[in-house]
Structure 1
């Protein structure tokens, strides 16, 4: 029997996003410098995703600064059979989401701010303890 993580734990927050948004299949939470914090994955190598998310954020931030369009919120890669989305979680963390070709991007856009807020609070409480 698979144990369901509590909804306020980092893993529980990632699992909740997968349950609320059709097409979200895996997710990785990492630091902005590419270190793995926690993962909800089956097929991807989470440490590699964490490192690549940091590089993606760096390039995305540079592009946003150069274009003068404000602070970077997320980077979306639409691929042949799905999506990869990297979302800033405050100044110190990144959420990387893998979605299949049927990913509901509108639902992701609606749900991701609450997920980012939950992750930010959970990370802050971990630092405080």
Structure 2
């Protein structure tokens, strides 16, 4: 589990993503096993989203493999009034971003790369030696 300083840095990065991309309402960072690391969320239950995101990413990876699509970048789910994007953060974590119908997907694709790099760096700095 991240230290207090690390947790604050993770939440700051998630909050910055929400502030930079139109339509992003919430986000969560979790392990690939579905354990919550940090969240910038009010409406959804972060622990549940973390667990479901791990399953979503696993299914997406399997689908990409079966379809011959190469390494998975992200999984995008569109529902009535919501977009959910699940993206790998290195090999051990994943980022889930929830947006409304007005989510700027192009802006998210631009900005999520920087957020993923920052999150990965924070997690690497907190890793035991």
TM over 0.5: yes
**Separation in structure 1 between the aligned mates of residue 128 and residue 56 of structure 2, nearest angstrom:** 29
**Counterpart residue number, 1:96:** 96
Deviations 1:30-86 (A, max 9, x none): 000000000000010000000000000110000000011110010000110010110
Distance 1:34 1:109 in 2: 23
SS of residue matched to 2:127? helix
> TM-score of the superposition, structure 1-length normalised?
0.92
Q: Which runs of 4+ in 1 moved over 6 A?
A: none
Residues 57-96 of structure 1 correspond to what in structure 2 (within 5 A)?
57-96=57-96
Q: Note the C-alpha offset of 1:128.
A: 4.4
* TM score, norm. by length of structure 2: 0.92
Q: Does 1:33 align with 2:40?
A: no
Q: How does 1:11-50 map to 2 (within 5 A)?
A: 11-50=11-50
Counterparts of 1:48 and 1:67 in 2: how far apart (Å)?
A: 28
In 2, Cα distance between equivalents of 1:33 and 1:82: 24
Q: Which residue of 2 aligns with 1:112?
A: 112
Unmatched segments (≥5 aa) in structure 1? none
Query: How many residues of Structure 1 are paired with residues of Structure 2 in the alignment?
Result: 124
1:123 matched to which residue of 2? Answer: 123
